[in-house]
Structure 1
Amino acid sequence: MFKKLQKRWRAGLVTVVALSLGMGAVVYTQGASAATFPTATGTTKLTASKAVSGTFDGGLKRFVGSGALGGDSQDEGQDPLFTLADGATLKNVIIGSPAADGVHCLGSCTISNVWWENVGEDAATFKGGSSAKYTVTGGAAKGADDKVFQHNGGGTLTVSNFAVSDFGKLYRSCGNCKTQYKRSVVLKNVTATAPGGSLVGINSNFGDTATLSGITISGDSKKKIAICVTFKGNKTGAEPTKVATQTAATGGDGTNCKFSTSNITYK
């Protein structure tokens, strides 16, 4: 319990995010010592995963798990708060704690202006096929012991105008799923605030690619946050083997990790 409380007070984000909610521009200023998330307009408890097809606009209500969804641990196999059908959009939602396994995209999906106050198992998991297109735009996440975005299916995930703090990995292409794909991730205009482990983890042996631009890293004076880590993935469930780590100093390898030193800014 103390660890969870401690996580909520640790270093936050340094960014100003302007978002349109259909009611005019709303500006959220996030200071150097603590992230300022939008104020919830109410709280809804979910005892079972909420299925979304079409568009669900949460009106900036906070959604938390209860009963069977009452976990905020790293235990595998938890159910999500939201399950998005192919083509669905989830927007203007605050995901509180307990967050269970966040959001699952079963196909192509859009996640817009969604805020994770304290990531449970993962913030979002992407499960579509090889041609799926996933978009995460706006919003932020903090307090992820391990992963923020988990990519188990195929396709391409694009994350833009997003902020993350106090995290293990911002993005991970599944390293040991029974069915593997060539996966792609695009990060642009993303702010990451230490402590953090890595921005991207991908499987070079399956042809994964990561393209990064407009990345700002804050509070990491020793540059400990890895930019792009490549692994040798497998289909057996075994722990994947790390191949190489690309840093802001080295730049990307041009094949799997695609970024230059000018794409990374430290503050």
Structure 2
Amino acid sequence: MMWSSRASSKRPRSVLAALVTLPLAAAALVLSPALGTAEPTAATAPAPLTALDEPVSETIELDEDFDGGGTRYYGEGDLGEGGQNEGGDPLFELADGVTISNVILGSPAADGIHCQGSCTLRNITWEDVGEDAATFRADSDSAQFRVEGGSAAQAEDKVFQHNGPGTLTVSNFEVEDFGALYRSCGNCSSMYERHVVLEDITVRTPGDRLVGINENYGDTATLSNITIIGDDGQDITICQRYEGNDNGDEPEETGEGPDGQHCLYEESDISYQ
């Protein structure tokens, strides 16, 4: 099965065929041969092309790889609020091992994309981030989450929220107008050691911080080739360390900047334009 909704996994076959065929038809219309390979590009993501807008009223559950062909998906009904309330439902929920590619998340975007295990998000554009762009959950320390190419904008709070264990690698990505690019959950009821790798990232102001991690749980953030544009005062915090907890209290800040143990980068890994 390509996808199902949470409300009913028995969508009429004709409707399912139409829903699956539309994005694939869009791919033929909008993807050039270069984009059709779905390979990650340079740090600045390619401008997305789209022939279709697809409203989503119930979370689309993917249990196999899905290529959206440049289609824009946006929430309506219960998924149409686009606010900052925690615990909201996503537009897409990915099973362990699934890759989603060439999708635009329009506005409202609900809680974006949820990964229930290892996943790859390839060439995804978040035009107006809702609660979070993507949330990563897993049961195993060996879980691998990848974000390859793409971009996100207008994230009032977090872009990527990491709740489970494992490692998130974000490469060739662009972010603009955001609170935090990455946050390791600081007060979830179940806390884990988490790791994030940011490489070849283009950052455009305004923004608050790139990374927030919990040093008392052994989190690490490895950064390389980060380009920040428009931050003349170098006000964006690169790597903020916290003391996390599992009781729901607001985590306390413990320090920031490279420390050789948790925030792993050199000053030369960050450039300003």
Q: Quote the residue 2:36 is aligned against.
A: 22
Q: CA deviation at 1:71?
A: 1.4
Q: Which residue of 2 aligns with 1:228?
A: 239
> d(CA) in 2 for partners of 1:134 and 1:263?
22
State the Cα distance separating 1:39 from its structure 2 match: 2.8
SS of aligned partner of 2:36: coil
Taking the aligned partners of 2:160 and 2:190, their CA distance within structure 1 comes to 18
Alpha carbon RMSD of aligned pairs, Å?
2.1
Give the length in aligned residue pairs: 241
AA matched with 2:267: T
Decide which of 214, 219, 226 is 2:225's aligned counterpart: 214
Contact 2:199 2:225 in 1 (8 A): yes
Distance in 2 (CA, whole Å) between partners of 1:121 and 1:222 is 28
Deviation at 1:40, TM superposition (A): 2.0
After superposition, what is the alpha-carbon deviation per residue over 1:42-75, rounded to whole angstroms, capped at 9, x for unaligned? Answer: 1001110001122110000000001010011111
The SS at the match of 1:205 is helix
SS in 2 for 1:160: strand
State which of 160, 164, 182 in structure 1 corresponds to 2:193: 182
1:126 corresponds to which of 136, 140, 152: 136
Which 4+ stretches in 1 moved above 6 angstroms? 24-30
CA contact (8 A) 1:28 1:38 kept: no
In the alignment, what sits opposite 1:5? none
Look up the SS of the partner of 1:170 in the other structure: strand
Distance 2:181 2:47 in 1: 18
Q: Which position in structure 2 is the counterpart of 1:67?
A: 77
The normalised TM-score by structure 2 is 0.84
The amino acid that maps onto 2:219 is: D
Aligned to 1:111: 121
Aligned-partner Cα distance in 1 for 2:246–2:43: 43
Hey, what does 2:271 align to over in structure 1?
265
Are residues 217 and 83 of structure 1, via their aligned partners in 2, closer, same or farther at CA, if it must alter by over 3 Å?
Answer: same
Q: How far apart, CA to CA, are the structure 2 residues paired with 1:155 and 1:179?
A: 13
Alignment of 1:97 onto 2:107: yes
In 1, are the aligned partners of 2:40 and 2:148 still within 8 Å (CA)? no
Read off the aligned partner of 2:64 and give its amino acid letter: G
CA distance in 1, matches of 2:197, 2:48: 26
Q: Specify the alignment match of 2:152 in structure 1.
A: 141
For normalisation by structure 1, the TM-score amounts to 0.86
Residues 217 and 29 (structure 1 numbering): CA distance in 2 closer, same or farther, change over 3 Å? closer
What is the one-letter code of the residue matched to 1:123?
Answer: A
Decide whether the 8 Å contact of 1:20 with 1:26 is kept in 2: no
Q: Higher strand proportion, which one?
A: 1
